[in-house]
Structure 1
């Protein structure tokens, strides 16, 4: 039923909770786990001055660490893993990756924002992914 499972990651502890479920689901279905980190272009654009290259390099390094952590956990469970770092708006890139790579299900955790932060940022990434994805999205609280 599930051959490819996408786990978007920002390197936070919330991803660990989602990853527990994704690994279990992938193990049950002998599926490949896809780890995706998105370098948020809104952040890099906002830092277009002298520090732009440093900010981009730092975010890409965080991304490498984040996808490596997902890969390590999935590989320890004997699963195949693919890692990818994209640039763009996180929710858009997550949905796009799922569409372009034949993903069967997306497993992610809400970001744990306060209601005030969610209003300010017009909702969370997980809310927008759940609304826009063409495949099932498991939101793990």
Structure 2
């Protein structure tokens, strides 16, 4: 597997990249090659006084690359200029990446937590599965909030094609997953359909065959609120959800359940979008 690791070379990014447990989790799910990417904003020019951003970022990436190479990964570095989420998505498509990883400061003091603009825009537009890796908000020496990325997974499903695609990610996540909680939030569409308890039980059986300890939850209410309530109860290391894709309307509007989860979850989020189009 090939992963894009997007970094702004901040202390938070350094904490994530130098965490050996996180890197081991990536190896467990099959990641062999990592493309380290940092983006120089297009409004910052090399000719500005005191600016050598490309050179500084190349040196910073080289340090991160050494850490990852020592951990056993093949590493390529990319310093590019432009709009971060567009350039990250572009590189992901070019190298045929299997996932993108981006750090995000967690647990904002604001009542309604918001994530950084790059993580938010990637959640709306990513072309490959996106791991939003939560970093604590400490100013000096931040640490990742959950070292074992996929050890305990909360999987949210509405039984749609998007959700089924996300569940398929367990085919490789299972190598790093020990426990899973499967949650469905009832909606009017459930009327006349197969009992969601039975459908969750079928999914749970698949995971238990892979020696993943699994429990199921059926909730009632606002989907995002209920999924986040379960996250608070079971404290997963990562919440796994599907995304509906990259329409122009979605890029202009917030509010989908998956974007709510990415923005408000306390822990890591693994977002699985529709497959690439040719």
Match of 1:96, SS? Answer: helix
Q: Distance in 2 between matches of 1:89 and 1:52?
A: 19
Q: Distance in 1 between matches of 2:81 and 2:49?
A: 14
1:136 equivalenced with 2:134 (yes/no): no
5+ residue gaps in structure 1?
A: none
Number of residue pairs the alignment of both structures matches: 128
* Structure whose residues are more often helix by fraction: 1
1:76 equivalenced with 2:78 (yes/no): no
- Matched-pair contact (CA < 8 Å) for 1:7–1:36: yes
Match of 2:78, SS? Answer: strand
For structure 1, which segment, 96-105 or 59-68, has the greater mean C-alpha deviation from structure 2 after superposition?
59-68
Structure 1's consecutive aligned runs of 4 or more residues displaced over 3 angstroms after TM superposition are 111-115
Q: Superposition RMSD on alpha carbons, in Å?
A: 2.7
Q: Deviations over 1:63-89 (max 9, x none)?
A: 112311221111110111111111111
Q: When the two structures are superposed, what TM-score results if normalisation uses the length of structure 2?
A: 0.41
Per-residue deviation, 1:90: 1.1
1:127 corresponds to which of 120, 131, 139 = 120
Which has the higher relative contact order, 1 or 2, with Cα contacts under 8 A spaced 6 or more apart?
Answer: 1
Q: Distance in 2 between matches of 1:39 and 1:128?
A: 16
Q: When the two structures are superposed, what TM-score results if normalisation uses the length of structure 1?
A: 0.76
Distance change (3 Å), C-alpha of 1:17 and 1:109: same
For structure 1, which segment, 81-90 or 58-67, has the greater mean C-alpha deviation from structure 2 after superposition?
58-67
Distance change (3 Å), C-alpha of 1:114 and 1:40: farther
Q: Distance in 2 between matches of 1:90 and 1:83?
A: 15
Distance change (3 Å), C-alpha of 1:67 and 1:99: same
- Matched-pair contact (CA < 8 Å) for 1:18–1:108: no
- Matched-pair contact (CA < 8 Å) for 1:26–1:79: no
- Matched-pair contact (CA < 8 Å) for 2:5–2:34: yes
Q: After TM superposition, list the pairs within 5 Å mapping 1:107-118 onto structure 2.
A: 107-110=101-104
